[in-house]
Chain A
Amino acid sequence: MNEPFIPAFNWQEHVISPWMSELSMTLPIVLMAFFVITSCGLIGNYLILRRMALVGDAISHSVLAGIAGVVVFTGGLQVTGLFIGALVAGVVTTVLIELIHRYSRVKQDAAIGITFTTLFALGVILINLKAGQVHIDEECVLYGEIAFVPLDQTKISIPLAMVQAMDNLPLAGEFIKGGQLVVATGVLRMAIVTLVVVALIWAFYKELLVSSFDSALAYSLGINANMVHYALMSLLSIVVVSAFESVGAILVVAMLILPGATAHLLSTRLPVIMALTVLHAALSTLLGFHLAKWLDCSIAGALVVAAMGLFVLAWIFGIHDGLLGKWLRQRRVQHELPEEITQSSSLTT
Chain B
Amino acid sequence: MSEENAKTPVPLELHDLTVSYHKRPVLWGVDVEVTAGQLVGVIGPNGAGKSTLIKAAMGMLPLNSGWVKVFGEPVEKNLQRVGYVPQRESVDWDFPVSVMDVVLMGRYGHLGLFKRPAKSDREKARECLEKVKMLPYADRQISNLSGGQQQRVFLARALAQESDLYFMDEPFAGVDAATETAIVAILQELRKQGKTLLVVHHDLTTAREYFDSLLLLNMRVVAFGPTKAIFNQELLQRTYGGRLTILSEVAEAVGSKAD
A residues near B (Cβ < 8 Å) are: 49, 51, 203, 205-206, 209-210, 212-214, 216-217, 219-223, 264, 267-270, 273
Query: B79 at the A/B interface (Cβ < 8 Å)?
Result: yes
A213 to B55, CA, bound (A): 18
Nearest to B102 among chain A residues (CB) is A213
Given A219-B79, A221-B161, A264-B96, 11 further pairs, Cβ under 8 A = A49-B96, A203-B113, A206-B116, A210-B105, A213-B105, A219-B60, A220-B58, A221-B108, A268-B143, A270-B97, A273-B96
Cβ distance B92 to chain A, nearest Cβ, rounded Å: 7
Can you list 28 A-B pairs with a CB-CB distance of less than 8 A?
A: A49-B92, A49-B95, A49-B96, A209-B97, A209-B105, A210-B108, A213-B97, A213-B102, A213-B105, A214-B90, A214-B91, A216-B60, A216-B86, A217-B84, A217-B105, A219-B59, A220-B58, A220-B84, A220-B109, A221-B161, A222-B80, A222-B109, A264-B96, A267-B96, A268-B96, A268-B143, A269-B96, A270-B101
A210 partner residues in chain B, CB cutoff 8 A:
105, 108
Q: Output the nearest chain B residue to A48 by Cβ-Cβ distance.
A: B96
Q: A206-B111, A222-B80 are contacts. A213–B92 as well, Cβ < 8 Å?
A: yes
Interface string of B92-136 (1 = CB under 8 A from A): 100111100110010011010111100000000000000000000
Interface of B, secondary structure class, is mixed
* Chain B, Cβ-Cβ closest to A220: B84
Q: B83: CB under 8 A from chain A? A: yes
Query: What is the interface size of chain B, counting residues whose CB is below 8 A from a CB of the partner?
Result: 32
The chain A residue with its CB closest to the CB of B114 is: A203
B82 within 8 A of A: yes
Q: How far is the CB of B144 from chain A (nearest CB, A)?
A: 9
Instruction: Across the A-B interface, give the 5 residue pairs with the lowest CB-CB distance, nearest first.
Output: A220-B84, A221-B109, A268-B141, A216-B86, A222-B79
Residue of B nearest to A270 (CB): B96
Which residues 123-161 of B have a CB within 8 angstroms of A?
A: 141, 143, 157, 161
Cβ–Cβ < 8 Å partners of B91 in chain A: 213-214
- Among B55, B86, B141, the residue within 8 A (CB) of A217 is B86
Q: Would you call B82 and A220 a contact (CB within 8 A)? A: yes
Chain B residues within CB distance 8 Å of chain A: 55, 58-60, 79-80, 82-84, 86, 90-92, 95-98, 101-102, 105, 108-109, 111, 113-116, 141, 143, 157, 161, 167
Cα distance, A203 to B116, chains bound together (Å): 9
- Inter-chain CA distance A273–B98, complex, in Å, is 13
The smallest C-beta distance from B112 to any residue of chain A, in angstroms, reads 10
Q: Is the CB of A223 within 8 A of B58?
A: no
How far is A36 from B167 in the complex, measured between Cα atoms in Å? 44
